[in-house]
Amino acid sequence: MTATALAVPMFIPRTVFAQGARPGANERLGIAGIGVGRFGGPLLDRVLRDERTVAICVCDVLKPRANEVATRHGLSSEHAYQDYRKVIERNDVDAIVIATPDHWHALPSVSAALAGKHLYIEKPVSLTIEDGKLMRAAARKTGVVVQSGSQLRSGVQIGVCRQFIREGGLGKITEVIAANYESPWLANLPAEQIPEGLDWDMWCGPTEPVPYSREVFRPRGDVGPGWISLRPYSGGEMADWGTHGLDQLQFALDLDDTGPAEILVEGEKLVPPVYSEPENRERGNRIGAQPRLTCRYANGITMRLDNGDRGGGIIVGEKGRIEIAGGNVTSNPSELLEEFRREHGVPERPSHTADWLNCIYNGDTPVGELETGIRVATLCHILNIARFVGRNLQWDPVKEEFIGDAEANTWLKREHRAGFEMPAV
For the residues of 36-77, what is the DSSP string, one character each? Answer: -STTHHHHHHHHHTSTTEEEEEEE-SBHHHHHHHHHHTT--G
Residue 25's pLDDT is 63
207-219 burial, b if ≥16 CB within 10 A, otherwise e?
beeeebbbbbbbb
User: What does the angle CA 203 – CA 204 – CA 210 come to, to the nearest 5 degrees?
Assistant: 125
φ/ψ bin of 116: left (φ > 0), alpha (ψ from -120 to 50), beta (otherwise):
left
pLDDT digit string, tens, across residues 132-182:
999 999 999 999 999 999 999 999 899 999 999 999 999 999 999 999 999
Kindly state the DSSP code that residue 420 receives in the 8-state scheme.
Answer: -
- Give SS3 for 295: strand
Model pLDDT, residue 344: 83
What is the pLDDT, as a whole number, of residue 24? 73
Residues in Cβ contact with 366 at an 8 Å cutoff, skipping those fewer than 6 apart: 145, 146, 147, 355, 356, 359
Q: Residue 267: count other Cβ atoms within 10 Å of its Cβ.
A: 11
Alpha carbon 135 to its chain's center: 13
Residue-level pLDDT at 26: 67
* pLDDT the model gives residue 50: 97
Least confident of 72-86, 339-353, 405-419: 339-353
pTM of the model: 0.93
Backbone angles phi, psi at 22, to 5 degrees: -70, 130
Split at pLDDT 50, 70, 90, the class of 419 is very high
Q: Supply the pLDDT for residue 348.
A: 84
pLDDT at 48 over 50: yes
Cα distance between residue 123 and residue 37, in whole Å = 15
pLDDT tens per residue across span 323-365: 999 889 999 999 999 989 888 877 788 999 999 999 999 999 9
**pLDDT over 80 (residue 213):** yes
Mean pLDDT, to the nearest integer, of 118-142?
98
Please write the tens of the pLDDT for every residue from 357-391. Answer: 999 999 999 999 999 999 999 999 999 999 999 99
pLDDT tier at 21, thresholds 50, 70, 90:
low
How far, CA to CA in Å, does 197 sit from each of 73, 212, 255?
A: 20, 13, 44
Domains of the chain listed by start with CATH number: 9-152 (3.40.50.720), 155-348+370-412 (3.30.360)
Query: Can you give the pLDDT at residue 13?
Result: 46
3-state class (DSSP) for residue 139 = helix
